[in-house]
Amino acid sequence: MEFHEKRRQQFLSEKTYREALCYCKESSEYFATHPMGSGDSEMHQHVLARRTVGDDLLDSLFVQYTAGEPIDPLRIQLEQAVAAFERYGEVLWQYRNDRNEAAFDLDSIDDYCQLMQLIGLCFLLHRRDLMPRVAALQDGLDAVGERGKGNGGADWLYEEFMSFAVGPENRYEAEVLRCSKPYEGLADALSSADNEAALKDLHRYLKRWYKDLAGTGWHDSHKANEAGEQGGYYGYWAFEAGAAVLLLGIEDDSSLHQYLYYPKDLVAWARANRALSESEDGKATDRLRCEAGQPCPREGFWFTPAKADSRRRFAQGETMPAFSTDFGATIWQWDERQQ
């Protein structure tokens, strides 16, 4: 199939796609071990670099979905992105000397949007097992403890999604929606009395989604500059809207297909692959992450963001090694390429 026939948004050219993949790969590999050129201190430069790695890996996932690539491999790439944000969190907390600092700033439209997209992908790719790790990046060490320094209950929409993942009894009460434009429509959909009303709310949400996110850094990135080149366009996707459809059990979402930003292919894939999400006991079937010092759970190739060129084969039961680093624990990830 020709590239223009399989791509999921018409703005993406094959040239831009190849360049974006190359850029994300080179940038993420470099900044995994090198500091950013800007920053008010060396530690701050490492903070910015590690955040860049997370952004790059998520952007790579976005642009592959936009290009019409197969969806199954994106499940592994999503975990790689979450692992990169965990590395960022460790450096951020050291820099701030405060483990209650949220990895995603809910008062930043860019961060809020990215967090909702990340959460949406966790549901749509059947990686709910990643949600507690995302929560650990946001909640803070104290959650809503006696000192009140944690972030539990900081945003209604975030808490609602987390409640779907881990149960409301394990989450916090929230009254504030920190980013009402455009997310009020999505919040209304998740709290609607029935799916007919929820669909109306989702229509309202998707109609406003792109326009209300005009303040983000990626907005209008599909437009070419004077040299005729695109910059920073990886795809525009309201993954969180697709997650809402899945969570609410809306079986007929065809009326939402008119919106360019609605990930209809991913919603259809999620429905067709529900078995990936749960085993008989209702828990995630795949174990794709292993901390250093623990026995390897599956024979094959693994890698860790803690060290460049770390990919190697482990036997089941073999102890996963740790690397000396100032930036947190060594976490090994299962590599989808088992050759």
pLDDT 10s digits, 61-80: 999 999 999 999 999 999 99
Report d(CA 338, CA 194) in Å as an integer: 45
Per the prediction, the chain carries an average pLDDT of 89
pLDDT at 144: 55
Closest CA relative to residue 126, chosen from 270, 337, 258, 302: 270
The predicted-structure confidence for 273-317, as pLDDT tens digits, reads as follows 988 875 433 343 344 677 788 888 888 888 886 777 788 999 988
Contact between residue 202 and residue 245 where contact means Cβ atoms under 8 Å apart: yes
Per-residue pLDDT averaged across 189-215, rounded?
Answer: 95
Report d(CA 303, CA 338) in Å as an integer: 11
Closest CA relative to residue 54, chosen from 18, 86, 30: 86
Who contacts 333 (Cβ-Cβ below 8 Å, separation ≥6)? 76, 79, 80, 83, 288, 289, 302, 303, 304, 305
Which of residues 100 and 208 earns the better pLDDT score?
208
pLDDT at 325 over 80: no
Q: Which helix (H) or strand (E) holds 291?
A: strand 289-291
Report d(CA 60, CA 141) in Å as an integer: 30
pLDDT band at 337 (very low <50, low <70, confident <90, very high): low
φ/ψ bin of 139: left (φ > 0), alpha (ψ from -120 to 50), beta (otherwise): alpha
Report d(CA 304, CA 3) in Å as an integer: 32
The predicted-structure confidence for 107-147, as pLDDT tens digits, reads as follows 999 999 999 999 999 999 999 999 999 999 999 876 554 44
- Percentage of the chain exceeding pLDDT 90: 69
pLDDT at 326 over 70: no
The predicted-structure confidence for 234-250, as pLDDT tens digits, reads as follows 999 999 999 999 999 99
pLDDT at 229: 66
- Percentage of the chain exceeding pLDDT 70: 89
Which of residues 197 and 150 earns the better pLDDT score?
197
Report d(CA 243, CA 157) in Å as an integer: 12
